[in-house]
Amino acid sequence: MPEPVRLAVVGASGSMGKARIRHFGDDPRCRVVAACARDIRRLGEAVPDEEIQLFAHAEEIYANPDVDAVSICIPNALHYEHARRALLAGKHVHCEYPLCQTLGEYDELVQLARDQGRVLHHALTVRAESLHRTMKGSLQGFGEPRAAYYRYYGGGGWYLDPNLRGDMFCALHIHFIDQFLDLFGEPEAITAHGIERDQCVSAVVLMQFPGGLAGTIEFGMGFIDKPGYMGTIVTADGWAGFESGSEGLTVKIGEGGQIGEMTPPPDTSKEEDAASFIDEILGTGGPQCDLATGRRAIELCLECSRQVG
Which whole number is the average pLDDT over 226-244? Answer: 90
Close Cβ partners of 210 (under 8 Å, ≥ 6 residues apart): 185, 188
Average pLDDT over residues 202-218: 96
Report whether pLDDT(228) > 80.
no
When pLDDT is cut at 50, 70 and 90, the band that residue 293 belongs to is: very high
In sequence order, what are the residues at sequence separation of 6 or more whose Cβ sits closer than 8 angstroms to the Cβ of residue 198?
none
User: What local confidence, expressed as pLDDT, does residue 135 receive?
Assistant: 95
Q: What is the rounded distance in angstroms from the CA atom of residue 46 to the CA atom of residue 249?
A: 28
- What does the pLDDT read at residue 269? 97
On average, the pLDDT of the chain sits at 94
47 neighbors 17 (Cβ within 8 angstroms)? no
**Cα angle: 133, vertex 139, 140; to 5 degrees:** 95
- Give the C-alpha separation, 174 to 303, whole Å: 12
The bridge status of strand 238-245 relative to strand 248-255 is antiparallel
Domain 5-123, CATH:
3.40.50.720
Q: What percent of the chain has pLDDT over 90?
A: 82
Q: What is the mean pLDDT of residues 8-35?
A: 95
For residues 236-248, give the mean pLDDT: 88
Q: Are 176 and 108 in contact (CB under 8 A)?
A: no
Query: For 97-154, how does the pLDDT look when each residue is reduced to its tens digit (9 = 90+)?
Result: 999 999 999 999 999 999 999 999 999 999 999 999 999 999 988 889 999 999 999 8
Summarize the confidence of residues 81-102 as an average pLDDT. 98
pLDDT, tens digit, 9 for 90 and up, residues 61-77: 999 999 999 999 999 99
Q: Is the pLDDT higher at 223 or at 100? A: 100
Buried-exposed string 212-242: b where 16+ CB fall within 10 A, e elsewhere: ebebbbbbbbbeeeeeebbbbbbbeebbbbb
Interval 12-21 mean pLDDT: 93
Q: pTM of the predicted model, to two decimals?
A: 0.94
Q: Residue 256: its pLDDT value, please?
A: 78
CATH of domain 127-267+303-308: 3.30.360.10
Mean pLDDT for 143-167 is 91
Give the residue extent of every domain in the chain: 5-123, 127-267+303-308
pLDDT at 1 over 70: no
Beta strands (DSSP E) in 144-294 are 145-154, 189-197, 200-208, 214-221, 230-235, 238-245, 248-255, 258-262
Lowest mean pLDDT among 5-14, 120-129, 227-236: 227-236
pLDDT-based confidence at residue 155 (cuts at 50, 70, 90): confident
User: Looking at residue 86, what is its pLDDT?
Assistant: 98
Would the pLDDT of 217 be above 70?
Answer: yes
- 42 pLDDT band, cuts 50/70/90, is confident
